[in-house]
Each structure stands twice: as C-alpha cells, then as structure tokens.
Structure 1
Amino acid sequence: MTFCPTRTAQIDLDDAALLRYSRHVLLDEIGIEGQTALCNAHVLIIGAGGLGSPVALYLASAGIGTLTIVDDDAVDLTNLQRQIVHTENRVGQNKAQSAALTLQQLNSQIEVRPFAERASGERLLELVSAADVVVDCCDNFATRHTVNRACVVSKTPLVSGAAVRFDGQLSVFDSRIAGAPCYHCLFDEEGEANDGPCATFGVFAPLVGIIGAAQAAETLKVIMGMGETLIGRLQLFDARSSRWREMKYKQDPHCPVCGNVHAR
C-alpha cells in the first residue's frame, strides 16, 4: 500500500484516537497505518455548499488532520434544503466559517482552517500546493478549470464532483501519475458543458449527499493509496432511476493544461 506523502507534521495515534477511529482500524485495508495517514493528511475543500457539506463532515469524522475550506459566499435560507453543514442561526454568516464551527464540534482533534475568500491566481496555487488532496465542490465550470490548472501545476490530486437537478458526476485526477488525464481532458473549456447554478435549475437535496459522500470516499482512498480510485473514469448518477453509469476517458496528448506536465 502506497500512502500519499503528507505535508503536515507527523503524529501518532494515541489511545483516544485509536478508540475513536477503531472501526477504521478494524478494516484490514486501513488499519493503524492507514488511519495514521488520514490523521496526518491535509485536504483543501473548494466550496462549503451542497457538495462541500457532506465532504467536510465525512472527512472531519474520518480524522483528516487538517481541513482547509475556501468559500466567499454567505449562508442563505435556500441553502438549508441541502447544505447540511450549516444551521438556521448561521444564515448570513460566511459558509467556510459556518462549516468550521460544525466540524470543530464534530471532531475537536482536527484543525479546520476557514478562508472567506474566492481564491485565484497565486493565492489559489499556494493553497493547493499546501494540500495533499484537493476536493472540488464548487458550483461553476470556470472555477473547476481554475482549480484543475493549479492542481496540475502543483501535481496535487484532485477529486471533482458536480450535482444539479437529479444528475450527479464525479471523477479523480492525479497529475503525479504519468499519462493520467486532467479535468480539461474530460471537459474542454471551449465546450458546451455547463452545470449551471442551483438557483436557476434546482437540485434534489439527497443528490449532493450521494455525490459528496462518494467524493469523501475517493479522497480517503487517494490519501491511503487504497483500492482503485476513479482516475480515467467518470461516474454518472441519475437520482430519478437510481442508476450509475461509467465512462472511461484518457489523457488528451494535446491538452494545453496537462499535455506536457510530465516533461516539466
């Protein structure tokens, strides 16, 4: 098993942590070594909305040592239909800060770093480079491409998800692996892909939980080097029929984002 190299200070599991995460430790595929890797990992979550809520909750409960959450938006009453990390008394509060309050109450052993900003450029690259894994939980096409470029440059694994109406999708991108495709290989910026905002199209509340939980699972697997992640595979979920479909894809040799990444 190959573990993702962490960029935070190494810690060992004490008796309290061994008890808290005992249901993970009991799994042969995880054990003490895998849980230790999780507790030493640093994950960056872009967006604390519908997808970011279950992602953050599961990563915090699983013991990810450091969670950095970036979101410049404020909690709105219409968010509470699906954004389960927030509460009624936090309407009007920044989402990253609201999420941090919930996560620290859930797990006081981890560090949560909320950033009430829309990171871009060098600032985004700085945040991405400091993380072991980035989880893209944003709600727009342009930001996904911006985050993807930063992940390719820094060679940081990216777990991407999307959910709108009754349709969800997720995949994993890892530029550390030769020949692995990036988000741009799958969705060209000049293409017609457009998920659109939930305020315009609506979203089935449990859908973001399904996709977000799957994103959290892929994140844990990347960190621990466990199982088979969704690199080169796009999972598509239709909540109306409760059916999953899978599409395989490869790196575009002419991709302007990752085509020459392994030659750098």
Structure 2
Amino acid sequence: MSLFDDPDRLSDDELDRYARHIVLPTVGGVGQKRLKKARIAVIGAGGIGSGVLPALVGAGIGRITLVDDDAVSLSNLQRQWLFTTADVGAGKAPLARRFAEARNPHVHIDAHGVKVTVDNVRDLLGDHDLVIDGTDNFATRLLVSDTCVALGMPLISAAAQQLQGQLGLWRGQPCYRCFVGDAFDTQDCDTCAETGVVGALTGMIGNMAALMAIRLICQIGDEGAGHLHLYEGTTNAWRQINIPADPSCKACALK
C-alpha cells in the first residue's frame, strides 16, 4: 500500500478495482473503506492460507500480517495455489508476499518466516483487528487462541482434512479452547500428510474464512461467534454446532 494512500478515501483505481463490492448494498463505499482500514493477521500460508490470502488481498484489506516458517514442498502444490513448481524449497512467507503485492498494490503485506511461539506471539498478533488461523497443529492453534482471548481480539479458526472442513469465529466466551479442551497442547495430532486432504476443500474452507472476515469487518448480518460450522464433502452438506462456554476454561473463564 502506498504511503500516500488515504484510508478515508478510495482512489479512482480502487473505485474501479472494488466496483463489484461498492455496488453491493451490504458493502458499498462505507464497507470498502472499512476493509481498507482493517488489519488482519493470517497464521499459515498452507492450504487454508492459500484460500484466505487471495480473497483478502482481492477484497482490499489494508494491512495483512502473514506468518509461516515453512518452505514449499512438491506435495504442497496439490492445494497451495500461492506457489509454483519453481518455488519448491523456498520460504512460503516471502513468496506469499510476492503473490499478494503483484495482485493488489493497495494492500500492505508484512510477511514473517518464523514459527509462532510464546515469546513472539503477542508481537505478531498485537495491533490487529482480527486473526485467521489456518495452521495444522493444536499447540499453535491453542497458543494463538489464548493470545487472542488475552488481547480481546476475534479469531477465525479454519481446518480441513480428508473431505471434512470446519470453521468458527471465536470472540470472548466461548473460545477455541472451550471447543477442543486442554488435551491437545502438544504437537501430537493428525496432519494432512498422514490422513490426506482434497485440495479443492482447503481452498473452499479458506475462502469461507475470508468471507467470514469480510462479513465481520463490513458488519454484514449476525457475526455468529461461538458457532462451529462443519462441512462434509462426501455429501456436500453443512451443519452448525453451538459451542457452550467451558466454565473451567483456563483461557476465557476469567475474562
């Protein structure tokens, strides 16, 4: 994003670029300016992130922080559409930044090729309006969730394995830890490498996470915090589960 971009106005280029948003009664110029002012942190540039990032960049989110310490492998290319065969072996974070900058010069991308840890998580996530987590292990997910609770920041969590996807918005109580509990504080959980995943599914769930973020920023409809949305690819069916707050949750019970 140019240092001369005014967050309170849309340039002629932006008016053309976002014309399909602006004609929507639910978005309009007011909503597009909200998107332009928004600051979103995206954790993970894998299958979910490859659906999230292009949608957010295309929507005109003003500032995106991307965090991923991984490098591209050949097996990623089945579902991680930010990358090409020539990118194998290179770090995902700078490559994703290159993709985003080429797609929309009005979006500022901060790319961090680091692992999210207890020592850096507050620095990475602070000063954002929203976090989207698309990582593939519970240790990182719970660390991100607990930090969002502590900072009073909404979190969208998205996951996909085999032909099943899940998506949820967490704000205050209940939190993501209320959903999964304390049993998964280690790295010991199934991954796509072990169980497999259909590439189209990760893109779909990532796009749905981006849509949830856009709805939240533009104040479209009920934000639906605390509901888990489950997708079953074998039947092409969605169902919604209401997650109750855990009164003993060590993250949100005292908030």
Q: Which residue of 1 aligns with 2:86?
A: 89
How has the CA–CA distance of structure 1 residues 154 and 122 changed in structure 2, closer, same or farther, with 3 Å as cutoff?
A: farther
1:213 Cα offset (Å): 0.7
Once the two structures are superposed, residues 212-252 of structure 1 have per-residue CA deviations (whole angstroms, 9 ceiling, x without a partner) of 11100111112222212231211111111111111112212
How has the CA–CA distance of structure 1 residues 59 and 255 changed in structure 2, closer, same or farther, with 3 Å as cutoff?
A: same
The one-letter amino acid paired with 2:252 is: C
The answer to whether residue 228 in structure 2 is matched with residue 234 in structure 1 is yes
1:145 Cα offset (Å): 0.3
The alignment partner of 2:47 has SS state of coil
The answer to whether residue 174 in structure 2 is matched with residue 196 in structure 1 is no
The alignment partner of 2:57 has SS state of helix
The answer to whether residue 163 in structure 2 is matched with residue 166 in structure 1 is yes
Once the two structures are superposed, residues 119-157 of structure 1 have per-residue CA deviations (whole angstroms, 9 ceiling, x without a partner) of 222411122112111000101111110000110011111
Q: Take 1:135 and 1:154, find their aligned partners in 2: how far apart are those partners?
A: 15
How has the CA–CA distance of structure 1 residues 128 and 34 changed in structure 2, closer, same or farther, with 3 Å as cutoff?
A: same
Once the two structures are superposed, residues 85-113 of structure 1 have per-residue CA deviations (whole angstroms, 9 ceiling, x without a partner) of 11111111111111111111111111111
The answer to whether residue 243 in structure 2 is matched with residue 246 in structure 1 is no
The answer to whether residue 215 in structure 2 is matched with residue 218 in structure 1 is no
Q: Take 2:44 and 2:16, find their aligned partners in 1: how far apart are those partners?
A: 31
> Contact 2:116–2:140 at 8 Å: present in 1 too?
no
Q: Which runs of 5+ in 1 are unaligned?
A: 1-8
Q: Take 2:242 and 2:29, find their aligned partners in 1: how far apart are those partners?
A: 33
Q: Take 1:250 and 1:64, find their aligned partners in 2: how far apart are those partners?
A: 31
> Contact 1:164–1:195 at 8 Å: present in 2 too?
no
Q: Take 2:177 and 2:48, find their aligned partners in 1: how far apart are those partners?
A: 21
Q: Take 2:60 and 2:181, find their aligned partners in 1: how far apart are those partners?
A: 35
The number of residue pairs the alignment matches comes to 249
The alignment partner of 1:237 has SS state of strand
Q: Which residue of 1 aligns with 2:17?
A: 20
The one-letter amino acid paired with 2:46 is: G
Quote the RMSD (CA, aligned, Å). 1.7
The one-letter amino acid paired with 1:253 is: P
User: What is the identity percentage for the equivalent residue pairs of Structure 1 and Structure 2?
Assistant: 37
Q: Take 2:35 and 2:69, find their aligned partners in 1: how far apart are those partners?
A: 27
1:190 Cα offset (Å): 1.6
Q: Which residue of 2 aligns with 1:209?
A: 203
Q: Take 2:110 and 2:208, find their aligned partners in 1: how far apart are those partners?
A: 23
Q: Which residue of 1 aligns with 2:175?
A: 182
Once the two structures are superposed, residues 20-42 of structure 1 have per-residue CA deviations (whole angstroms, 9 ceiling, x without a partner) of 11111111111111100101111
The alignment partner of 1:51 has SS state of helix
Q: Which residue of 1 aligns with 2:144?
A: 147
Once the two structures are superposed, residues 140-181 of structure 1 have per-residue CA deviations (whole angstroms, 9 ceiling, x without a partner) of 111110000110011111000110111110000112xxxx31
Aligned match for 1:105, one of 97, 102, 105: 102
Q: Which residue of 2 aligns with 1:49?
A: 46
1:191 Cα offset (Å): 6.2
Q: Take 1:63 and 1:195, find their aligned partners in 2: how far apart are those partners?
A: 35
Q: Take 2:248 and 2:105, find their aligned partners in 1: how far apart are those partners?
A: 46
Q: TM-score, normalised by structure 2?
A: 0.93
